[in-house]
Amino acid sequence: MIWSLCLLYLAGSLGAVHPGPVKRPQKTANSVAPQEDVNVLMFGVIQLGESLNDLYESTESKLTKILHTLKQREGALMQIGEQTAQAAEVERQIKGVIQLLQDQTFKQEIQTKMREGQLANIEREEAVLQTKVKSLEAYLNGTFPTSIKELQERAALNASILKGLLHLTQFQKQKIDKHAEQLSTLQRMSEAL
């Protein structure tokens, strides 16, 4: 662009270029501009051309920077979109884990209640058996005082049976306590989430 302006200036200073149709030169004093004015105008045109060229180049570099920044922003937006999708997936997984923990907690509560019911039944049966053993001992003592040794053996057998039932009851109670601890741990975990 600068070269074309230089050529235009050179042609104008040599008088080789005419901006319109060729006319016969008339010898009027006002029709021809002095060479100095033409030089000043051409210098102004060259400076205007250089300014326009600088403006074009700076605008081009600014546009390049803007396009580069836009590409960076697009990359950042894509990353944010991916992170949002990943966060949504993690949230869905956490909700699934929470639901699973709640289901397990509910099942543990049901099992604990069933075990407590079984333990209560065993304790009632033990009490009934103890009552029966005592009434049987009383009956036997009143009815057959001659065979005390036999009664003592039966009482010892009944006592060992009762001890076995007591151990079974304690074992069931330990299982219920263990399930209660597991249930409280699961509840704490679900509350923490």
For residue 23, being part of any structural domain is answered with no
For residue 187, is it within any domain?
A: yes
Per-residue pLDDT tens over the stretch 91-106: 999 999 999 989 988 9
Please give the Cα distance from 12 to 46 (Å, whole number).
Answer: 12
Structural domain for 160, as ranges: 2-13+35-192
105 HSE (CA, 13 A, CB side): 15
Residues 6+ away with beta carbon under 8 Å from 101: 186, 189, 190, 193
129-173 residue pLDDT tens: 889 888 887 776 676 655 677 778 888 888 888 888 888 888 888
Q: Is residue 142 part of a domain?
A: yes
d(CA 154, CA 9): 138
Q: Is the pLDDT of residue 86 over 60?
A: yes
Whether residue 22 has pLDDT greater than 50: no
- Angle, CA 87 vertex, CA 82 and CA 92 arms, to 5°: 125
Tens digit of pLDDT for each residue in 39-59? 888 898 899 889 888 888 889
- Predicted local distance difference test score (pLDDT) of residue 90: 92
Q: Judge whether residue 114 has pLDDT over 70.
A: yes
What's the pLDDT score for residue 99?
Answer: 92
Residue 22 to residues 12, 25, 31, 178, Cα–Cα distance (Å): 15, 9, 14, 114
26 falls within a domain: no
User: Looking at the domain assignment, is residue 153 inside a domain?
Assistant: yes
Looking at the 3D structure of the chain, how many domains does it have? 1
> Does 17 score more than 50 pLDDT?
no
